[in-house]
Amino acid sequence: MGIVLKAGFVTAVAAVFAGSVLLLRGGAAETGGEIRVLSRLDEYTRASNPSIANTIPTFLMQAGRTGILPPPTAPAPDATLAPGAPTATAPPATAPPATAPPAAAPPAAAPPAAAPPAAAALGTGTGTPPGAPAPAPAGGEQPAGPVPEAPIPVSAVRPLDEVELQKGFCTATLSRLVRQQYPGTYDGIPDAQLEKTLLKQRPEYKGRLCILPVWIDADPHDIVKYEVRQDVAAIPQVVWLWSGLIAAGFAVAGIVAYKRLSD
């Protein structure tokens, strides 16, 4: 009987210690540790059925929190240029200017379509989605393979309102994306002809997957579903100290109570 009581007593003290750590760490669980990316908006869209008109609703239905990761740091020009090569300034990756809307001209046999108005409330995010075909940056070479991602701290993730994200749309088919951006304008043009003409006039549309609200200043690759991986080392030492004191107090109280009951 004594062995059973001792085992139960040790288990109770350990449970008190673990519970104290969980309760006392409080906000440390939100600001400490690192995250694990569960899904990225561009990768999820690219892997979805091309017939899906908008992948954002189903993307948001996935498990995990929604947030915006910081963009990857670009390598220094000296690291990508050969010795003695002239330094070239890469053009900024911005959305197409409103003065030249991305309108694809219809075939010659079809009557000319009216130029669509510039999107007033929607934008394209910043830059071309990583992983999609894009022109090589000036003065550098594209990496031969994927680069392992560095650990991302929780504090680096920006919150994202899911309601605002649902005001945009993403699809794996460029023709469907343009038809949603300018509904009814290109209904008489086949998908293949529309994409060919559009890419000829606006090559920056190559690889584009999403049209997002302009106030969401993020690339689809940086919009993620994630979960927090709490690192034990990230818990403040004061939490361990107080948890140990609470567990020790509980142990002393238990021993005193046991001795009084035994007498």
Distance CA 68, CA 203 (A): 27
Write down the pLDDT at residue 47.
Answer: 94
Does a structural domain hold residue 191? Answer: yes
Does a structural domain hold residue 31? Answer: no
Rg of the chain over Cα atoms, rounded to whole angstroms, equals: 28
pLDDT in tens, 62-104: 999 999 998 876 554 444 444 444 444 444 444 444 434 455 4
**Does position 207 have pLDDT exceeding 80, yes or no?**
yes
Distance CA 222, CA 162 (A): 14
**Does position 49 have pLDDT exceeding 80, yes or no?**
yes
Q: How many residues does the chain have?
A: 263
How far does the chain reach from its first CA to its final CA, in angstroms? 17
**Does position 124 have pLDDT exceeding 70, yes or no?**
no
pLDDT category of residue 242 using cuts at 50, 70 and 90: confident
Write down the pLDDT at residue 249.
Answer: 87
Does a structural domain hold residue 202? Answer: yes
Whether residues 171 and 189 share a domain: the answer is: yes
Of 138, 119, 83, 149, nearest to 211 by C-alpha is: 119
For the chain, what is the domain count?
A: 2
Whether residues 227 and 244 share a domain: the answer is: no
Picking from 12-16, 130-134, 244-248, which range would have the lowest pLDDT averaged per residue?
Answer: 130-134
Does a structural domain hold residue 193? Answer: yes
Write down the pLDDT at residue 220.
Answer: 94
Cα torsion through 80, 84, 85, 90, rounded to 10: 60
Whether residues 253 and 127 share a domain: the answer is: no
Q: Which two tokens stand for residue 219?
A: 């690339």
The bridge status of strand 169-170 relative to strand 223-229 is unpaired
Whether residues 118 and 161 share a domain: the answer is: yes
Q: What is the DSSP string of 112-134?
A: PPPPPPPPSSEE--SSSPTTS--
Whether residues 129 and 164 share a domain: the answer is: yes
Q: Which two tokens stand for residue 222?
A: 């940086």
Whether residues 201 and 258 share a domain: the answer is: no
Whether residues 113 and 160 share a domain: the answer is: yes
Whether residues 202 and 248 share a domain: the answer is: no
Distance CA 176, CA 232 (A): 47
* DSSP alpha helix (H) spans, the chain: 2-24, 28-31, 41-46, 56-60, 77-80, 162-165, 174-181, 191-201, 237-262
> Whole-model pTM above 0.75?
no
The boundaries of the domain holding residue 246 are 1-25+235-263
Does a structural domain hold residue 162? Answer: yes
